[in-house]
């Protein structure tokens, strides 16, 4: 259920809050940026990562879909084919691959220092122009925010607690290959 005054539910809000802010948001990424952390970083306008950072969209490993606003944030960065491959395999990928994909803006030995340099450069620009630019680009790269977030949440509820989702969790905790049951019917959105 969406939070009051927002198109996002509680889980989506952890990532979409950065997307929704009218000011630029810069993420400094160190170490492993996986699952929910990955989705939170995708909500930012700019991502600076250390060269040794790693990334993964992990949710399918647990029998669920990413549901923290990724339907808004990932498509503005990479193409469908690459999004499907990364999400369906949940493989870890390097910071340099993340830059090549367009998920990370740049690499820096000190992502925080580099993020501050970028922020200081932005501060030299008209705040009115920055505000309007972010509004323009969000409109240009987002078809229908409310509908996307509702669909994302609805699809997730069809999976949570289901037999195959519970098998995914059990298999991961037991460090074994999951044995999934065939779909009984096509899940309708």
- Whether 109 has a pLDDT exceeding 90, the answer reads yes
- Whether 6 has a pLDDT exceeding 80, the answer reads no
Helices 10-20, 145-159: inter-axial angle, 10-degree rounding: 150
- Whether 186 has a pLDDT exceeding 80, the answer reads no
Regarding predicted confidence, which is higher, 69 or 103?
103
- Whether 1 has a pLDDT exceeding 80, the answer reads no
DSSP designation for 124? T
Can you give the pLDDT at residue 187?
57
Q: Which residues contact 82 (CB under 8 A, 6 or more apart)?
A: 101
Can you give the pLDDT at residue 9?
81
CB-count burial class (<10 Å; 0-12, 13-18, 19+) for 163: exposed
Q: Measure the CA–CA gap between 120 and 155, rounded to whole angstroms.
A: 40
């Amino acid at each position: 259920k969406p939070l009051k005054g927002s198109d996002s539910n509680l889980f989506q809000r952890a990532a979409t809050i950065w997307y929704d802010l009218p000011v630029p948001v810069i993420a400094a990424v160190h170490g492993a940026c996986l699952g929910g952390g990955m989705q939170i970083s995708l909500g930012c306008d700019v991502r600076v990562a250390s060269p040794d950072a790693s990334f993964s969209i992990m949710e399918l490993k647990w029998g669920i879909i990413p549901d923290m606003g990724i339907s808004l944030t990932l498509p503005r960065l990479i193409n469908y084919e690459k999004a499907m491959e990364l999400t369906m395999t949940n493989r870890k990928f390097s910071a340099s691959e993340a830059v090549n994909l367009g998920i990370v803006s740049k690499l820096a030995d000190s992502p925080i220092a580099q993020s501050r340099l970028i922020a200081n450069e932005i501060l030299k620009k008209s705040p009115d122009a920055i505000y309007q630019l972010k509004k323009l680009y969000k409109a240009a790269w987002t078809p229908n925010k409310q509908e996307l977030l509702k669909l994302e949440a609805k699809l997730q509820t069809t999976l949570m607690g289901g037999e195959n989702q519970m098998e995914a969790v059990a298999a991961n905790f037991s460090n074994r290959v999951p044995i999934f049951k065939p779909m009984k019917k096509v899940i309708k959105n």
